[in-house]
Amino acid sequence: MVDLGLVKKTPEGLRPTLFGHTALRRYDELTQTAPLGQVLAGLGPDAIDPIVFVGSEFVAPETDAIDKHLARAQDLLESATTVRGVVPAASSDNEKLVRVRVEASQLRAEFVLGTELYADLDRENMGELAEVLDCGLSLWKTTADVPFGFYVAEGPESVQMAIEFRDEALMTGILVNDTAESIHWAETLFSHYKDDASKI
């Protein structure tokens, strides 16, 4: 390690160098993303900026807590007063929670819907949505490819961004981050989708 420049000898013993500190930080970042390997495998190399993973929390189903990731998503939506994002597939629990909170004037929401999700909305659902659209829900539809869902949840005490990973309609995990860099990335990507979408 001394030969590699990671540590240096001092009277007090071995101490990490600046290069050593940097290498350790990179290693820590790698260990954070390692559990994401399976859910990231199907995405392109530029789909998500690596800065999003720094300081993030990844929640996936566990044997003794199969709904752990779903509960984390609901916690975010329950504590938010404003949420905006892009949604490729429906999540009945999240959809119901958002609708109830919007109708109660507890939440303002903006979502860009993927093509498949918009096509799945039948006339009955559109009728229900029409009522919510008057209460604080704004929707757009996009023809662009939406490889994953993401949103920014803003509450009175914090702002967090989240990426929901799915296998078709089934959520397989959620990544949550509150760093300024990750939130900026999500806000910028949301604006990109919204600018090219059609208002519903």
17 and 98 in a common domain:
no
User: Mean pLDDT, to the nearest integer, of 147-151?
Assistant: 92
183 and 87 in a common domain:
yes
- Can you tell me which residue has the tokens 């800065």? 51
88 and 19 in a common domain:
no
190 and 174 in a common domain:
yes
60 and 96 in a common domain:
yes
In 3D space, the residue among 55, 120, 43, 51 whose CA is nearest the CA of residue 87 turns out to be 120
At 79-125, the pLDDT tens digits run 999 999 998 876 766 777 787 888 888 889 999 988 877 777 654 56
67 and 127 in a common domain:
yes
Please report the pLDDT score of residue 181 as a whole number: 96
60 and 29 in a common domain:
no
190 and 147 in a common domain:
yes
At 1-10, the pLDDT tens digits run 667 677 788 8
17 and 73 in a common domain:
no
- Sorted by sequence, the CB contacts under 8 Å of residue 28 that are 6+ apart come out as none
Please report the pLDDT score of residue 16 as a whole number: 78
Specify the CATH number for the domain of residue 141: 3.30.870.10
Q: pLDDT higher for 129 or 102? A: 102
69 and 17 in a common domain:
no
At 18-70, the pLDDT tens digits run 777 666 676 666 566 666 666 677 777 888 898 898 888 988 878 788 888 98
Domain that holds residue 9: 1-41
Q: Tally the domains of the chain.
A: 2
At 159-169, the pLDDT tens digits run 999 999 887 77
Please report the pLDDT score of residue 103 as a whole number: 82
| CA 69 – CA 113 distance, rounded (Å) | 22
69 and 53 in a common domain:
yes
63 and 1 in a common domain:
no
